[in-house]
């Protein structure tokens, strides 16, 4: 068995929060609160969670676009946690990012050739001819015509722009891609195209992908394993089918219950979460989810629940082993 | 109208055209539909389908000519069928001052982004009271009391204390509840909700959908729910209108639409929605509609969907815009081939 391509171990990232008052500057927003995760070579790991769960921060930290406050990040066996910019340079081409918003992430003054070829210009000494060939190949890879190279982003639709973003991410032939909500800004009929394209490229290029999304159904379609995040922690991690059919954390169950079902005969009768996600500046003691959890016990407030392997390869941070959780919430009992 | 119980809102041949560089651009093309009391009509479409422009046209919130031209009729009938019969007023014919009496009063609207729809420099209590003071001509103090009740109805804890809160002190879900409270303040007959849950997390979306359904049950108001999310449609709609490039593609009850979609666009849209299925193999591709949503400045000739449609036939689908045809049970479809497509034994 090969060692995983990416290993994240006990990662913490906090941001200082400026407030008013004498002691306000001491407040910290815990965006990542002890996250551990691996991504195997050619594996797709989905990360789901609501806004404020820390999923975007995780993606940026893994790519070392942020410096974590604690914990370690290994990329292909190399500890990159504290590497300098210069030391990171040879590793950067192997890890790339696809952004959420295809309107904001492409420079409107650059041609598609300039945008897609920018990583080449930065990382490789290539001739003009080699540059043109590589851009042509990258465009072909994502299903755009060669003529697209001379045009500007505004001439393309949202789905095509996302293809341009993917071509830019792939032109250096990375091993690892972080895709941060790559389809949530797209129209429904276009989302499916981009998901299919990512799946196809993933298997053709045996890419490892950290696929970040808030939509459990989208993540379920594309991922080998799913990590569920809540308030800066991973609360559940396991093989996709296991997580979808036998969730082990009440928050995962609640996400299922909240997802609208495209079947008008299966309306209503769901156990909804009450309230909002608590502030990451002052998260609840013990289990961070306990304030919204229908199964919470007094003990849940006392200690942070251990992230345990409850089933082979299937981890959850919940002290209750007596629950039968289900995707349909009706199967759940107190 | 021959119907014994005329619709509360009747939209006839509504068209909206904008002035663009290359001449007039049709954003909504002869749209007709009805809305009954207590009913939820979902208007579904992708970007450029005209769904939001439709809602702004109904509210008379579009810019005046010559930048924008609105034609057709939007009949709003009295809320009680016994007071005045079937007459109603054409909202498009009202003077701005008359429309101001209707807007926020008989028709109210909830927008997608609650942060930009609320005024950041006023406390929410004052913003809720504003509509009441204007439409009901009551004092500010009485209106603020009513605002407490409204906040309670939309499920905001400690409503009296919250009156003094500013929008930035509330979460996205709470802000959307405030927007709903404002919309409900004058007991509207029609609530237009334009992607009200799109900016929210899925757990908060579920709360807001449930709240809207409860409020509708209590008040009997009719709701026009504009969305791109077919999962949400399945949760809340009684009837559905599918728009594409400014035209109705299909209109049906929610069960008809999900059980027997007749337009290939609807079929494709339904098939492209990822479904949570624990038994399905992972890394499974989705059914995708090829091509792109058309640019409203360069609409394809004939059926606007034909370049992306697997059933399109040259000479039939790319010549004239298909008419809307009636299928069984009030099901309407705009497709010249819907009968053939749904009878696989006949050779096309």
Provide the pLDDT for residue B347. 46
pLDDT tens by residue, A291-324? 999 999 999 999 999 999 999 999 999 999 999 9
Helices A112-123 & A128-141 angle (0-180, nearest 10): 120
CA B268/CA A177 separation, integer angstroms? 29
Residue B160 DSSP class: H
Provide the pLDDT for residue A20. 60
Provide the pLDDT for residue B300. 95
**A84 in reach of chain B (CB within 8 A):** no
pLDDT tens by residue, A32-66? 999 999 999 999 999 999 888 999 999 999 999 99
List of residues 6+ apart from A63 with CB closer than 8 A = A95, A97, A178
**Residue from A46, A164, A187 to probe the interface with B (highest B Cβ count within 10 Å):** A187
Provide the pLDDT for residue A19. 64
- The residues in B 61-120 lying below 8 A from A, measured between CB atoms, are none
Provide the pLDDT for residue A27. 79
Provide the pLDDT for residue B104. 92
CA A108/CA B78 separation, integer angstroms? 51
**B209 in reach of chain A (CB within 8 A):** yes
Provide φ and ψ at A189, rounded to 5°.
-70, -20
pTM of the entire predicted model: 0.90
Handedness of CA B167, B172, B178, B183 (dihedral sign): positive
Residue A23 DSSP class: T
ipTM of the shown complex = 0.85
Spell out, as residue ranges, where chain B has pLDDT lower than 70: 1-4, 80-86, 344-348
Provide the pLDDT for residue B283. 78
Cβ B47–A158 below 8 Å, yes or no? yes
Handedness of CA A130, A132, A133, A139 (dihedral sign): positive
CA A141/CA A291 separation, integer angstroms? 47
Q: 3-state SS string over A249-269? A: CHHHHHHHHHCCCCCCCCCCC
Closest-CA residue of chain B to A44: B283
Percent of chain A at pLDDT exceeding 70: 95
Buried b / exposed e along A204-222 (16+ C-beta atoms within 10 A): eeebbbbbbbbbbbbbbbb
**B289 in reach of chain A (CB within 8 A):** yes
- The residues in A 193-222 lying below 8 A from B, measured between CB atoms, are 193, 195-196, 199-200, 202-203, 214-218, 220-222
Alpha-carbon distance A92 to nearest alpha carbon in chain B (angstroms): 27
**A269 in reach of chain B (CB within 8 A):** no
From the list A240, A262, A265, the residue facing B275 with the nearest CB is A262
Measuring CA to CA, which residue among B281, B307, B279 is closest to residue B292?
B307
8 Å CB contact between B293 and A157 = yes
CA B238/CA B336 separation, integer angstroms? 26
8 Å CB contact between A32 and A61 = yes
**A319 in reach of chain B (CB within 8 A):** no
**B170 in reach of chain A (CB within 8 A):** no
CA A138/CA A169 separation, integer angstroms? 9
Q: What is the DSSP string of A142-189?
A: TT--GGGGGS-GGGS-HHHHHHHHHHHHHTT--SEEEEESTTTTS-HH
Mean per-residue pLDDT over chain B, rounded: 91
pLDDT tens by residue, A182-192? 998 888 889 99
CA B81/CA A81 separation, integer angstroms? 71
> Cis omega before residue B66 (within 30°)?
yes
How confident is the model over A164-179, as a mean pLDDT? 97
How confident is the model over A132-161, as a mean pLDDT? 94
Classify burial at B75, counting beta carbons within 10 Å of its beta carbon; exposed 0-12, middle 13-18, buried 19 or more: buried
Cβ A218–B274 below 8 Å, yes or no? yes
From the list A159, A214, A244, the residue facing B201 with the nearest CB is A214
**A130 in reach of chain B (CB within 8 A):** no
Q: Residue A283 pLDDT more than 50?
A: yes
From the list B206, B234, B270, the residue facing A272 with the nearest CB is B206
Cβ B234–A50 below 8 Å, yes or no? no
């Amino acid at each position: 068995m090969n060692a995983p391509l990416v290993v994240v171990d006990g990662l913490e990232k906090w941001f200082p929060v400026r407030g008013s008052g004498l002691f306000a500057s001491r407040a910290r927003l815990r965006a990542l609160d002890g996250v551990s995760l691996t991504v195997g070579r050619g594996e797709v790991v989905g990360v789901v969670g609501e806004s404020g769960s820390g999923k975007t921060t995780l993606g940026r930290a893994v790519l070392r676009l942020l410096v974590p406050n604690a914990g370690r990040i290994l990329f292909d066996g190399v500890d990159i946690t504290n590497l300098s910019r210069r030391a990171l340079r040879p590793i950067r081409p192997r890890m790339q990012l696809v952004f959420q918003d295809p309107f904001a992430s492409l420079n409107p003054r650059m041609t598609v050739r300039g945008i897609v070829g920018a990583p080449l210009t930065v990382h490789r000494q290539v001739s003009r001819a080699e540059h043109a060939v590589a851009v042509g190949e990258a465009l072909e890879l994502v299903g755009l015509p060669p003529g697209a190279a001379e045009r500007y982003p505004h001439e393309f639709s949202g789905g095509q722009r996302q293809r341009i973003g993917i071509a830019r991410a792939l032109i250096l032939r990375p091993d690892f891609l972080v895709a941060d909500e790559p389809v949530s800004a797209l129209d429904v009929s276009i989302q499916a195209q981009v998901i299919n394209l990512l799946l196809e490229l993933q298997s053709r290029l045996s890419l490892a992908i950290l696929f970040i999304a808030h939509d459990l159904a989208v993540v379920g379609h594309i991922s080998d394993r799913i990590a569920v995040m809540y308030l800066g922690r991973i609360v559940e991690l396991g093989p996709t089918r296991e997580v979808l059919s036998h969730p082990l954390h009440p928050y995962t169950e609640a996400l299922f219950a909240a997802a609208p079902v495209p079947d008008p005969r299966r309306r209503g009768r769901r156990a909804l979460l009450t309230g909002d996600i608590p502030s990451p500046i002052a998260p609840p003691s013990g289990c961070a989810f306990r304030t919204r959890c229908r199964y919470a016990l007094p003990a849940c407030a006392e200690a942070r629940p251990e992230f345990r392997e409850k089933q082979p390869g299937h981890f959850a941070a919940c002290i209750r082993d007596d629950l039968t959780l289900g995707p349909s919430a009706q199967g759940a009992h107190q | 109208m021959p119907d014994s119980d005329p619709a509360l809102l009747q939209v006839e041949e509504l068209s909206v055209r904008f002035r663009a560089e290359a001449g007039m651009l049709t954003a909504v093309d002869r749209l007709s539909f009805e809305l009954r009391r207590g009913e939820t009509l979902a208007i579904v479409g992708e970007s450029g389908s005209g769904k939001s422009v439709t809602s702004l046209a109904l509210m008379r919130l579009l810019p005046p000519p010559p930048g924008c031209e609105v034609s057709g009729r939007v009949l709003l009938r009295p809320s009680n069928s016994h007071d005045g019969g079937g007459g109603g007023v054409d909202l498009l014919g009202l003077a701005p001052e008359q429309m101001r009496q209707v807007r926020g009063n008989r028709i109210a609207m909830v927008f997608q982004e609650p942060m930009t729809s609320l005024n950041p420099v006023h406390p929410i209590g004052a913003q809720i009271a504003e509509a009441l003071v204007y439409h009901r001509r009551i004092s500010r103090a009485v209106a603020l009391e009513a605002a407490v009740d409204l906040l309670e109805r939309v499920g905001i804890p400690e409503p009296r204390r919250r009156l003094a809160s500013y929008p930035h002190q509330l979460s996205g879900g709470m802000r959307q509840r405030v927007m709903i409270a404002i919309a409900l303040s004058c007991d509207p007959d029609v609530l237009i909700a334009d992607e009200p849950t799109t900016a929210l997390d899925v757990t908060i979306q579920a709360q807001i959908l449930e709240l809207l359904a409860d409020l509708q049950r209590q008040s009997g108001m009719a709701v026009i729910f504009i969305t791109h999310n077919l999962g949400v449609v399945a949760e809340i709609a009684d009837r559905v209108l599918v728009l594409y490039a400014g035209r109705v593609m299909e209109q049906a009850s929610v069960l008809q639409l999900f059980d027997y979609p007749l337009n290939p666009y609807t079929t494709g849209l339904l098939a492209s929605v990822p479904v949570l299925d624990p038994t399905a193999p992972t890394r499974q591709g989705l059914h995708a509609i090829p091509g792109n949503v058309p640019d409203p400045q360069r609409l394809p000739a004939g059926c606007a969907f034909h370049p992306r449609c697997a059933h399109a036939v040259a000479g039939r689908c790319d010549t004239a815009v298909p008419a809307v045809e009636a299928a069984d049970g009030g099901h309407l479809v705009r497709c010249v081939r819907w009968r053939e497509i749904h009878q696989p034994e006949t050779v096309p």
